[in-house]
Amino acid sequence: MRLLIAYALSAVLFICNDATAFSTQSLSNKHARQPTTQLMMTQHISRRRLMISTISSISASAGLSQSALAAPPLSAEEADNFQARLERGLRSKPARVLRQRMNIDFAVLLMRSSYNAVDELDIVAMDQFQKDFFLIRQAEYQYYSDSIGAGAMQQGDLADPNYFDFISFAQYATISREIVNPPAVFEEQQPVEVGEGQPQKFDAVVVRRDPAIKNSDLPRIHTEIVGNAILDKLIEKFGETASAIPTIEPGSRPDAVTFLAAIKQMVNLFTLSGFAWEGGASMVQGSSIKDTQFSIIFTSPATLWSGQSLAAKKAVVTNDFALKTVKAMATRAGYKVVNDSVKYKGNQEITTFSVV
């Protein structure tokens, strides 16, 4: 039990430097508020807590066991085996470029929305996710730290773009591992509220994912949840200011110029939040919006190394946060993003896409 607590605490250290500065709204009405606890990465009770009384009795009668239902946990040996070391050796080294510090609220938003989406999808026991995340970070950290150079990064400081680049890679490497053909039923250890000064206790809860969701749809849904969370927060924070993203009526399918204006302001807010040294959006206009190609270019983004490294390992989901947000904007406007691509050239992240 002490080991589990240690893993969980390690998994949240990077996000607790300014815990009072930021709090994401729940991604689902099924999540309720709960008192703060060191063992929870978010400030919400997962809807899984509501299943304890019913699902636990079902699992007992059905004879379900954790070993039979859970996805294989990562081991320290697997996280640092020959294949993992070979992959690290083939990876591009982190670029030593000038990057501005990130706004801590925005950095937490990107990390927390990605974590919350995993919890929302019921793809893995969250205690296992925290342990796997810890082991991947542990295995990867020294290599990354040595590559970027002594003193170039402040460990645990999410606002440091060099550290954010690393921790975002570790998070999405973990998510990509868990999201591929996950079990529909698994057992999760969930913390129980105890009195002050009392040892933490856990309940074993059997979780069943919505059978209507296909495994092949999980990466897309994760992208949708994260993109909507980012867009909602940008609207909430800047909606009543001169920096607001131009309003597009739901389902209105605006013309290319109108849609580009919204994208440009979204990119401006990413840049204002310290995500990149500079950013811009443009388009090559066709005869209609369907024939128009949009582009977003960030210079020295906080995901410069991690984005390339995740692409190189063919991760199922990546930390393409701007593209995720654009997809949310497009869906609300009545469009769908197609032919999307994220590539890297020098210190630039170049995202291209069309809408239909």
- DSSP string spanning 226-251? HHHHHHHHHHHHHTTSTTPPPP--TT
Question: What per-residue confidence (pLDDT) applies to 82?
Answer: 78
Using the CB atoms, write b or e for 185-214: b if 16+ within 10 Å.
bbbbbbbeeeeeeeebebeebbbbbeeeee
How far apart are alpha carbons 173 and 189 in whole angstroms?
22
How far apart are alpha carbons 114 and 164 in whole angstroms?
13
Question: What per-residue confidence (pLDDT) applies to 272?
Answer: 97
Span of 11-15, 59-63, 201-205, 325-329 with lowest mean pLDDT = 59-63
Q: Which two tokens stand for residue 245?
A: 């993203």
Span of 80-84, 170-174, 199-203, 272-276 with lowest mean pLDDT = 80-84
Q: How confident is the model at residue 212 (pLDDT cuts 50, 70, 90)?
A: very high
Displacement of CA 160 from its chain's centroid (Å): 17
pLDDT, tens digit, for every residue of 213-264? Answer: 999 999 999 999 999 999 999 999 999 999 999 999 999 999 999 999 999 9
Question: What per-residue confidence (pLDDT) applies to 247?
Answer: 96
Rg (CA), the chain: 21
Question: How many Cβ atoms sit within 10 Å of the Cβ of residue 245?
Answer: 21
How far apart are alpha carbons 225 and 27 in whole angstroms?
7
Where is pLDDT greater, at 281 or 88? 281
Where is pLDDT greater, at 51 or 195? 195
Contact 268, 260 (CB under 8 A): no
Average pLDDT over residues 201-216: 91
Using the CB atoms, write b or e for 116-148: b if 16+ within 10 Å.
bbbbbbbbbbbbbbbbbbbbbbebbeebbbebb
Average pLDDT over residues 82-96: 83
Does the pLDDT at position 11 exceed 60? no
As beta bridge partners, residue 344 has 349
Where is pLDDT greater, at 304 or 20? 304
Tell me the pLDDT of the chain averaged across its residues.
83
Closest CA relative to residue 349, chosen from 288, 267, 292: 267
Average pLDDT over residues 71-98: 83
278-284: strand order across its sheet: 278-284, 293-299, 348-355, 337-345
How far apart are alpha carbons 183 and 186 in whole angstroms?
7
Q: Which residue in the block uniquely carries the two structure tokens 């500065």? A: 21
Does the pLDDT at position 56 exceed 50? no
Contacts of 191 (CB under 8 A, 6+ apart): 37, 39, 40, 200, 201, 202
Q: Give the burial class of 57: count Cβ atoms within 10 A of its Cβ; 0-12 exposed, 13-18 middle, 19 or more buried.
A: exposed
As a whole-number percent, the residues of the chain with pLDDT over 90 amount to 64
3-state secondary structure of 21: coil
| Four-residue CA torsion sign, 108, 79, 142, 131 | positive
As beta bridge partners, residue 338 has 354
Q: How confident is the model at residue 293 (pLDDT cuts 50, 70, 90)?
A: very high
Q: What is the pTM of this model?
A: 0.80
Where is pLDDT greater, at 12 or 112? 112
Question: What per-residue confidence (pLDDT) applies to 73?
Answer: 86
How far apart are alpha carbons 98 and 300 in whole angstroms?
7
Span of 23-27, 113-117, 304-308 with lowest mean pLDDT = 23-27
pLDDT, tens digit, for every residue of 306-328? Answer: 999 999 999 999 999 999 999 99
Does the pLDDT at position 299 exceed 90? yes
Span of 10-24, 182-196, 232-246, 319-333 with lowest mean pLDDT = 10-24
How far apart are alpha carbons 262 and 244 in whole angstroms?
9
3-state secondary structure of 33: strand
Contact 202, 105 (CB under 8 A): no
Contact 304, 344 (CB under 8 A): yes
